Chain A
Amino acid sequence: MNDVLYLAWRYIAYHRIKTGILIASIMLIIYLPVGLNVLVDQSAQQLTARAGATPLLVGARGSPLELALNSLYFESDTPALTRYAEAERIGASELATPIPLYVRFRSRGQPIVGTTLDYFEFRGLSLAEGRMMATLGEAVIGATVAQRLSLGAGDAVVSSPETVFDLAGVYPLKMKITGVLAPNFSPDDEAIFVDVKTAWIMEGLGHGHQELASPEASSAVLSREGNRIVANASVVQYNEITEENIDSFHFHGDNAEFPLSAVMAVPVDQKSGVLLMGRYQGESDASQIIEPLSVIEELLGTVVSIQQFVVAAVVIVGLATVATAALVFMLSLRLRRREIDTMFKIGASRIHVSGTLVSEVIVVLVLAVLLAAVLTVLTSQYGTDLIENLILS
């Protein structure tokens, strides 16, 4: 038996490239449906867990999926924007607690989530370091952000401009990190949280600048008509909110009209939730209310359908691969006819010759299965990362 395995191994080792390709092909055919299944299961589990923990989302009419993905996972494009008035409307109804969300900006690739302290309480997020944000320009970062960007309390993050060519648009805002959240193993670990007003400052709806009444700004003043002062572009505009300049920051316009990407509504009870949903059923309403779990389950239904198609395709490809592998083996046997004849002539036993050939096939299959199993285990271990990096991104 040892000799049979030895000869099989020598053959495989000598033809390592050919064998490697064969093993890789078979391994992929085994792994693809199994790995895909694991991946879909894990993604479903992850998606539904987060969605299930989020009762209702209110946003502008548009794609419910985009609204859900942006609000739950801080991924996908920013959905159609709603107004802060929507949060006030929900609060006024007393049916639910509104948690505003403004997920539009990023810093070094990480999403910046403008919200209120209610969000942390609702998600059960706690601090591992520092304190919660308290004033404009302060930020709290998720555990993964802290690790990935090597940041901690006392450091700063700068919001990324939306486009380098938009000179009149969003300016980078430097924000002080006041705390780092404990790992939550959710998209919150990947986010930078700021107060929603800080997000509006990034938007350009609020700003701080040099006091125009001061003597230093006199050269920038073009005209004064009562309280109305017109200045030129030389007025210093702050891109960092500090204790010294925080009082100069102000907003132009009505807060109620300021944008939000969504409002998370936490109903007082189940009945309140139903009542709240009823209030958004009018077709004339510019807003929509969604149950994230329903939206995500619909998405998963589509994903599972696609998965079934993919698995069916993989099975067909698998059959073709098995047929090809069988052909390769038969051609290999033909090419090895002389070798087999030689072994027969010198007196090799039939068991040894056929055993060697069968062992080669078994070794190839076992290696392919083992590799597929290792890949499947890796997929189950790092499936979440794969989902986030490969699918959601």
Chain B
Amino acid sequence: MSYISYITTAGPSSPVTRRYTLAPKAQELRRRRSCTHAICLIVIHVKDLFFSYGQADFSLRIAELNINDGESVAVTGSSGSGKTTLLNLIAGIALPASGRIETNGVDVGSLSESDRRKFRISAIGLVFQEFELLEYLTVLDNILLPFRVSRALPLTPDVRDRALALADEVEIADKLARYPDQLSQGERQRAAVCRALITRPPLLLADEPTGNLDPANTDRVLDILFDYANREVATLVTVTHDHDLIDRFSTVIDFKQFHASGTAEQPAEAVPPT
């Protein structure tokens, strides 16, 4: 096992460390990358995080969580346990009340909102359960959307070529001129995945990407995500309810151990994974 990911949680009990392995191809690609310093392995680092939604009866406390570069992580847990919140915190969409989150070595909480947006659009690919394609844009325009909504990403001919290549890869190249409502569910999610991949992000955050798909499309979409992650040695963090899919991931986080209901003043402590 060349690469080891450490998921460490801290709480009343002692820290627990578990080991997972990456796919061999990813390991090989990972070796080719220039970063050799050990700290570069950790792409997501969470330390002493506490988050709550104002007065809502929800809080999240994570003593420590590390996810390594190139890892594929499945985050499971019951509805309302905070899985999506974790993705939002990692992406800088939400900010913790206290604690530290580093994503790709960047302390997300220290960035201004404008910089967080730039960071997100440049370094993170987001895939949503409901696809969230813009109804008034064609498939091609939806794929290119990140390049049309931020100055951080200039829209060049190369980007267009890449969009066409991605669409071809996920077999929607003949539907680029269509609008989302003219696509099947599977095609919509493939288009949404293309939008997430078009910026070549080193980190993919997918929030139940297969939740609305049939088994065939579920496998297809996951294949696309894993192929990309393996090819680009990107980190994939996926929230899923589907336990049949868990075997495909190198790491599994059962989220109920990080979350417990309680007030913001007295949050429940995270429990180490078993």
Contacts and interface: CB of A to CB of B under 8 A. Distances in A.
A14 interface: yes
A1 to B, nearest CB: 10
Nearest to A15: B136
Interface in A193-225: none
B146 A346 contact: yes
B150 A342 contact: no
A155 interface: no
A118 interface: no
A23 to B, nearest CB: 17
B228 interface: no
Given A3-B149, A7-B148, A349-B114, A342 B128 contact: yes
A349 B151 CA distance: 8
B120 interface: yes
B117 interface: yes
Contact of A347 (B118, B134, B135, B136): B118
Contact of A6 (B118, B119, B126, B148): B148
Interface residues of A, number: 22
B117 A10 contact: no
Interface string B218-242: 0000000000000000000000000
A126 B76 CA distance: 96
B155 interface: yes
A248 to B, nearest CB: 81
B4 interface: no
A250 interface: no
Contacts of A339: 132, 134-135
Contact of A344 (B93, B137, B146, B179): B93
Contacts of B152: 347, 349
A348 B121 contact: yes
Contacts of B141: 10
A346 B120 contact: yes
Contacts of A7: 137, 148-149
A19 to B, nearest CB: 11
A357 interface: no
A342 B136 contact: no
A338 interface: yes
Contacts of B121: 346-348
B145 interface: yes
B134 A346 contact: no
B237 to A, nearest CB: 15
B124 interface: yes
A343 B149 contact: yes
Contacts of A353: 149
A6 B145 CA distance: 11
A346 B122 CA distance: 9
B119 A10 contact: no
A14 B117 contact: no
Contact of A345 (B114, B126, B155): B126
Interface string A345-372: 1111110110010000000000000000
Contacts of B119: 347
B155 A3 contact: yes
Contact of A346 (B88, B136, B149, B179): B149
Contacts of B135: 14, 339
Interface string A317-352: 000000000000000000000110011111111101
Contacts of B113: 350
Interface in B74-121: 88, 91, 93, 113-114, 116-121
Given A347-B122, A348-B117, A349-B117, A10 B151 contact: no
A193 B122 CA distance: 82
Given A10-B137, A14-B135, A347 B150 contact: yes
B70 to A, nearest CB: 22
B67 to A, nearest CB: 20
Contacts of A11: 136
Contact of B134 (A13, A342, A352): A342
Interface string A10-32: 11011100000000000000000
Given A11-B136, A346-B146, 13 more contacts: A7-B137, A10-B136, A10-B137, A10-B141, A339-B135, A343-B145, A345-B88, A346-B121, A346-B145, A347-B116, A347-B117, A347-B146, A352-B148
Interface of A: 3, 6-7, 10-11, 13-15, 338-339, 342-350, 352-353, 356
12 contacts: A11-B136, A14-B137, A342-B128, A344-B93, A345-B120, A346-B121, A347-B121, A348-B121, A348-B150, A349-B118, A350-B114, A352-B149
Interface of B: 88, 91, 93, 113-114, 116-122, 124, 126, 128, 132, 134-137, 141, 145-152, 155, 179, 195
